[in-house]
């Protein structure tokens, strides 16, 4: 939408969180509450994003140092109307503003699109709920909105109203410039209520449009850690449902966590207690075992990941067997039919088609050729305490158990390395190399015995 500004109210301290961090920095699905709101506003095409901060402003600003934001301080929290007043000096005089709350994280793009596309100069998001206690009620006359009344100022009849104000609005900037300066705090809470501009606008003949959110969770606010945990589960259940609709077999949606985005093929299966973070893709028939943590990684079709494996910025090819207990660190890249077994760690290592490292190995800064087998207990010694060096291993190499490959070092194609070797020099192709002390039997040696007193 053109000429759209977003004003995010984020000055509240969040006392009930009992935290040194401001409330809007508490995480939901792995991201600060405020980040969710900002990302959504940006998806909508908001050109200018104004954030009203108060408590621990430095922490909030630091957390969003990379974003382009108009920061506005509200030193004292005198009410929502006062908060938006603080934004007036930086608010354009034309166009519209979306007014959002930093502690209402799951507001959706679709809902905000509906809200910003009404014909009205003043649109608000309302919903009928079973227990409206504590929230502002929408007062209507002949079907039209005439005011919002806060719980503490409401008459007994008004308290019966089940349509509530979600605190999300899309308003012409001209309206904000015209009316906010006229607010007073003559009410039960002694606050400057943003909601009072509704009546002012209505008195001037402006018609208020109302829109309802697609999902109730979109307007749920977070005030304490119990609400935070509940909203997290609601969101995870929603994400799990979306994935199941796309054909993913999630074995237990109540034990599923996606902290980011997941793109999937057909017949993906995800076992319990898997955590998926950042941007991930799983191809057709990928199976993820219980307890895996997968971050910013791509897993191609047919790959099976056994339980308790950790991925971080890894790219895994088709038909791989990974785990249990494998660790794929940044720039671990595997081609087709690769096997990575238990307690094997890869870092900045490329494994070609059919390569295997099945047990207890560390491969860092290395390339491993096609069909090469890395024996149990093998490591690349890639670090001299200051510099990192590369290990290059050819095709069809057989590295025995417990081998140390001291980088920089190259093993040619079809090399065989004897178990227990420490390889410090390059080995030409087809060679057998053994680099360890010969076994010697010492004759006449007697094991010491304890003397009896």
- Known catalytic residues? 359
CA distances from 363 to 308, 373, 406 (A): 19, 12, 11
Smallest gap from Cβ 92 to ligand UD1, in A, equals 20
Three-state secondary structure call for residue 348: strand
For the CB of residue 76, give the shortest distance to ligand UD1 in the complex, in Å.
8
Instruction: State the residue number with the nearest CB to ligand UD1.
Output: 136
For tokens 């087998």, name the residue: 373
Nearer to ligand UD1, 74 or 210 (CB): 74
DSSP character for 452? P
Q: Which residues of 75-112 are buried (b: 16+ CB within 10 A; e: fewer)?
A: eebbbbbbbbbbbbeebeeebbbbbbbbbbbbbbeebb
**Binds ligand UD1 by CB under 6 A, chosen from 6, 26, 74, 380:** 74
Q: Contact letters (x/-) for ligand UD1, 331-350, by CB under 6 A? A: --------------------
Contacts of 352 (CB under 8 A, 6+ apart): 335, 367, 368, 369, 370, 371, 372, 395
Contact 266, 249 (CB under 8 A): no
Cβ pair 295, 316 in contact under 8 A: no
Nearer to ligand UD1 by Cβ, of 10 and 201: the residue is: 10
From the list 6-14, 169-177, 251-259, 397-405, the region that binds ligand UD1 by CB under 6 A is: 6-14
Please, which of residues 194-213 interact with ligand UD1 by CB under 6 A? 194-195
The single residue among 5, 6, 12, 328 that binds ligand UD1, judged by CB under 6 A, is 12
The reply to whether 115 sits near ligand UD1 by the rule CB under 6 A is no
105 vs 231: CA distance, rounded Å: 9
Stretch that binds ligand UD1, among 98-106, 229-237, 286-294, 413-421 (CB under 6 A): 98-106
- Out of 221, 289, 354, 364, point to the residue binding ligand UD1 (CB under 6 A): 221
Alpha carbon distance 169, 180 (integer Å): 14
* Binders of ligand UD1 in range 135-174 (CB under 6 A): 135-136, 148, 150, 164-167
- The residues of the shown chain that bind ligand UD1, judged by CB under 6 A, are 9-12, 52, 74, 77-80, 82-83, 101-103, 135-136, 148, 150, 164-167, 193-195, 221
């Amino acid at each position: 939408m053109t000429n759209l500004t977003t004003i995010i109210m984020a000055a509240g301290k969040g006392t009930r969180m009992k935290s040194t961090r401001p409330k809007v920095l508490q995480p939901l699905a792995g991201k600060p509450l405020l980040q969710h709101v900002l990302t959504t506003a940006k998806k909508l095409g908001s050109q200018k994003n104004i954030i009203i901060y108060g408590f621990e402003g430095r922490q909030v600003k630091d957390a969003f140092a990379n974003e382009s934001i108009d920061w506005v301080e509200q030193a004292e929290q005198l009410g929502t109307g006062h908060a938006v007043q603080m934004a007036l000096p930086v608010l354009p005089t034309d166009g519209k503003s979306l007014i959002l709350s930093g502690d209402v994280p799951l507001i959706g793009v679709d809902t905000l699109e509906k809200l910003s596309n009404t014909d009205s100069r003043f649109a608000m998001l309302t919903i009928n709920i079973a227990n409206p206690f504590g929230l502002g009620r929408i007062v209507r006359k002949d079907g039209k909105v005439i005011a919002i009344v806060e719980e503490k100022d409401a008459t007994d009849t008004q308290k019966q109203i089940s349509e509530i104000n979600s605190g999300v609005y899309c308003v012409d900037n001209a309206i904000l410039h015209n009316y906010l300066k006229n607010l007073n705090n003559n009410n039960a809470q002694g606050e400057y209520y943003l909601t009072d501009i509704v009546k002012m606008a209505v008195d001037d003949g402006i018609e208020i449009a109302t829109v309802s959110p697609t999902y109730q969770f979109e307007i749920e606010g977070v005030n304490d850690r119990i609400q935070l945990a509940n909203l997290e589960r609601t969101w995870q259940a929603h994400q799990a449902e979306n994935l199941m609709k796309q054909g993913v077999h999630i074995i237990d949606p109540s034990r599923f966590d996606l902290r980011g985005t997941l793109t999937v093929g057909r017949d993906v299966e995800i076992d319990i207690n898997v955590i998926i973070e950042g941007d991930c893709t799983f191809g057709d028939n990928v199976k993820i075992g219980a307890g895996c943590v997968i971050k910013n990684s791509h897993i191609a079709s047919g790959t099976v990941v056994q339980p308790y494996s950790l991925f971080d910025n890894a790219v895994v090819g088709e038909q791989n067997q990974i785990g249990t207990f494998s660790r794929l660190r940044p720039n671990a890249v595997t081609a087709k039919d690769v096997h990575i077994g238990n307690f094997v760690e890869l870092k900045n290592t490329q494994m070609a088609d059919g390569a295997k490292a099945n047990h207890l190995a560390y491969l860092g800064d290395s390339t491993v050729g096609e069909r090469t087998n890395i024996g149990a207990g093998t490591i690349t010694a890639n670090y001299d305490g200051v510099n990192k060096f590369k290990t290059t291993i050819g095709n069809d190499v057989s590295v025995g158990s417990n081998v140390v490959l001291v980088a920089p070092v190259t093993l040619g194609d079809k090399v065989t390395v004897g178990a227990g070797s420490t390889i410090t020099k390059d080995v030409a192709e087809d060679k057998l190399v053994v680099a360890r002390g010969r076994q010697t039997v010492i004759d006449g040696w007697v094991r010491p015995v304890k003397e009896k007193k």
